[in-house]
Amino acid sequence: MSPSEISTYLKQTHDRVFEHNRAWAEEQRQKDPEFFTKLSAGQTPEYLWIGCSDSRIPAEQITGLKPGEAFVHRNIANLVVNNDLNVMSVINYAVRHLQVKHIVVCGHYGCGGVKAAMTPKDLGLLNPWLRNIRDVYRLHEKELDGIEGEAALYDRLVELSVVEQCRNVIKTAAVQQSYAKNQFPVVHGWVFGFEDGLLKDLKVDHESMLHGIQKIYNLTE
């Protein structure tokens, strides 16, 4: 493409977003004249969604949740890292101020971040971030080494990473203290599949996981 063609293309893709926005806003007004009045009044989401930044997994669309029903945080490979102030701030705000009832950590099969983590090469700035996935492999090395086939291995690593991120969520003071007082939020681990568009519930046992970590990570006082 020539420079002028690239410029035209970029303008068209940019303008398309605003066209869609105007159409969406009008559609909401047609359905409910008070939609934006209610939306501007504040938020009381039931869910905190911690997902991957992958552009193919829009949380609200795949779950049917409406605007105002999910507080959303996304990062590469849906990691919950204790020294990442972004995700820690999101969890703290969602739990202590919005009082969400559910926290969902949602990964997806075919995750590029998981595959990159297992690539034996220097990935620069990504190294410290993806090391968290390598640590998951280390924790479950015996099981993973026994899996035949690369696709099956990566799928299982995706699941195990989601479970470990759920454990990291439960380790936080905000979640422990809120659960002790209110019996919520409850933490869930899900995985999205591109091949069928369905969510798989990994059946994370919040109560059992909480008891399992509190010998070392108890922050309820």
Catalytic position from the list 54, 155, 167, 206: 54
**Tokens (6 digits) for 48:** 């905190």
Q: Catalytic residue among 106, 111, 155, 167, which?
A: 111
Instruction: Answer for the pair 61, 197: CB distance below 8 angstroms, yes or no.
Output: no
Assess whether 106 carries a catalytic annotation. Answer: no
Q: Classify residue 41 by its DSSP letter.
A: T
Determine which one of 73, 74, 108, 206 is catalytic.
108
* 134 a catalytic residue: no
Paired strand residues for 181: none
Identify whether 111 is a catalytic site residue.
Answer: yes
Catalytic residue from among 20, 29, 56, 97:
56
DSSP of 45-88, one letter per residue? Answer: -SEEEEEE--TT--HHHHHTPPTTSEEEEEETT----TT-HHHH
Of 85, 90, 92, 106, nearest to 165 by C-alpha is 106
Which are the catalytic amino acids?
52, 54, 56, 108, 111
